[in-house]
């Protein structure tokens, strides 16, 4: 039987289990993908714990996961005419990168609208492809939101994370000077991506001091991928609210009138295709730190919730 990650009530990783499920049949506008790799994202943890119930309630049994890469095994009767994307429907057997809005990626098979997949370039490895959607589209949206221009200075918090590291590279491609706030273990790597590493820790004032020292002429824009005071810090640095984007502190975004574009603002196969092409051409890189078989999903989320080394954590289906 095909397998899928499930949970029947909110709770710790212990509520997660592997269920035997039926292979989905495609609706008219859908494709069914045999998943090779599905990504994990930190935002899935508070959803599973019930902390986001008022905003994004779960209906039980709930599946899990947005990011996947795999092979198309079925195409719906009208999928060839999928609207809203320049990307044409891939045929059966095609290797694709995709996303689902139904918390369903962590499974052997997933059915999605045909305009939610894009061909996987052969040069992009499965683990990177299977964890591209949320981090990639979020970084893309955040960079677009702050409108960075060549020669400007942009600070990024959580710069070594899944989102932050892609944002750093997209900014560098725009000719921007990037101040990358990250743990010291990641400084050499961020410098190799062309960023100026800035340490966090020892209190918000110290980060502020270091950012001011790294950019005496000022910071033009700020991408916050961590929350916990970075929006306020950006305001203290004199960054205009319209040039601050947080993906992690929505109360601060409302309080100061900053932007908060995340994955949903760039969730399309066209954006995925653009990011996949950049990866295939070696223009950007994405790290994967750990792979787990689907059966070890609890361990994978335990690792994600704790201090983890640089890169995405993914589930392999076989
Ligand atoms: N709104 C959306 O659409 C959206 C989408 C994706 C993610 N998110 C949110 O964005 C955040 C980041 O996601 P991610 O996938 O990039 O996470 P991730 O890959 O787990 O990375 C987290 C990063 O946080 C950094 N960090 C820890 N403490 C920090 C501090 N005090 N200051 C600066 N950085 C610190 C760590 O840096 P070091 O390793 O260098 O120590 C680590 O690289 C999460 O809160 C997630 O829920 C939102």
DSSP sequence for 212-231: HHH-TT---EEEESS-TTHH
Instruction: Among 44, 226, 252, 314, say which to mutate for ligand 1: greatest number of ligand atoms within 8 Å of CB.
Output: 226
- For residue 7, what is the domain's CATH number? 3.90.180.10
- pLDDT average per 10 residues of sequence, the chain (318 residues): 97 98 95 98 97 94 98 90 59 97 98 97 98 98 97 97 98 98 95 97 83 97 96 98 98 98 97 98 96 98 90 95
- For residue 225, what is the domain's CATH number? 3.40.50.720
- Say if residue 260 is in the same domain as residue 299: no
Instruction: Please count the other Cβ atoms lying within 10 Å of the Cβ belonging to residue 219.
Output: 22
Domains in the chain: how many in total?
A: 2
Structure confidence at residue 84 (pLDDT): 52
- Say if residue 41 is in the same domain as residue 121: yes
Digit-coded pLDDT (tens) for 41-59: 999 999 999 999 999 999 9
Q: Is residue 173 part of a domain?
A: yes
Structure confidence at residue 80 (pLDDT): 67
Ligand 1 nearest atom to the CA of residue 141, by list position: 3
- Say if residue 62 is in the same domain as residue 148: no
Structure confidence at residue 230 (pLDDT): 97
Question: What b/e readout covers 223-240, taking b as 16+ CB neighbours within 10 angstroms?
Answer: bbbbbebbbbbbbebebe
Structure confidence at residue 81 (pLDDT): 54
Lining ligand 1 with CB less than 6 A are 41-43, 134-135, 138, 157-158, 160-164, 181-183, 186, 200, 225-226, 247-248, 262-263
Structure confidence at residue 203 (pLDDT): 66
- Say if residue 188 is in the same domain as residue 243: yes
Structure confidence at residue 318 (pLDDT): 81
Instruction: Please count the other Cβ atoms lying within 10 Å of the Cβ belonging to residue 92.
Output: 11
Domain containing residue 46: 3-132+286-316
Q: Is residue 300 part of a domain?
A: yes
Shortest-distance Cα residue to atom 35 of ligand 1: 158
**Beta bridge pairs of residue 180:** 156, 197
């Amino acid at each position: 039987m095909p397998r899928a990650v499930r949970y029947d009530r909110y709770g710790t990783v212990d509520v997660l289990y592997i269920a035997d499920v039926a292979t989905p049949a495609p609706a008219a506008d859908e494709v069914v993908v045999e998943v090779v790799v599905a990504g994990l994202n930190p935002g899935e943890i508070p959803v599973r714990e019930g902390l986001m119930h008022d905003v994004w309630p779960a209906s039980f049994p709930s599946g899990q996961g947005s990011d996947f890469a795999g092979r198309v095994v079925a195409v719906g009767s009208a999928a060839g005419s999928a609207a809203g994307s320049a990307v044409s429907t891939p045929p059966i057997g095609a290797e694709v990168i995709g996303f689902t809005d139904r918390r369903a990626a962590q499974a052997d098979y997933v059915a999605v609208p045909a305009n939610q997949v894009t061909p996987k370039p052969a040069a992009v490895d499965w683990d990177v492809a299977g964890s591209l959607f949320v981090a990639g589209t979020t970084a893309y949206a955040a960079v677009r939101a702050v409108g960075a221009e060549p020669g400007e200075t942009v600070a990024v918090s959580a710069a070594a994370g899944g989102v932050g590291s892609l944002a750093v590279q997209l900014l560098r491609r725009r000719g921007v000077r990037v101040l990358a706030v990250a743990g010291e273990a990641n400084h050499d790597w961020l410098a190799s991506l062309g960023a100026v590493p800035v340490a966090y820790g020892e209190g918000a004032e110290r980060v502020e001091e270091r950012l001011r020292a790294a950019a005496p002429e000022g910071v033009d824009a700020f991408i916050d991928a961590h929350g916990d005071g970075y929006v306020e810090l950006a305001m203290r640095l004199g960054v205009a609210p319209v040039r601050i984007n947080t993906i992690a502190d929505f109360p601060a975004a409302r309080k100061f009138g900053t932007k908060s574009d995340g994955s949903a603002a760039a969730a399309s196969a066209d954006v995925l295709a653009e990011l996949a092409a950049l990866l295939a051409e070696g223009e950007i890189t994405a790290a994967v730190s750990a792979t787990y078989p689907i059966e070890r999903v609890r361990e994978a989320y335990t690792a994600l919730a704790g201090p983890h080394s640089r890169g995405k954590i993914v589930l392999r289906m076989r």
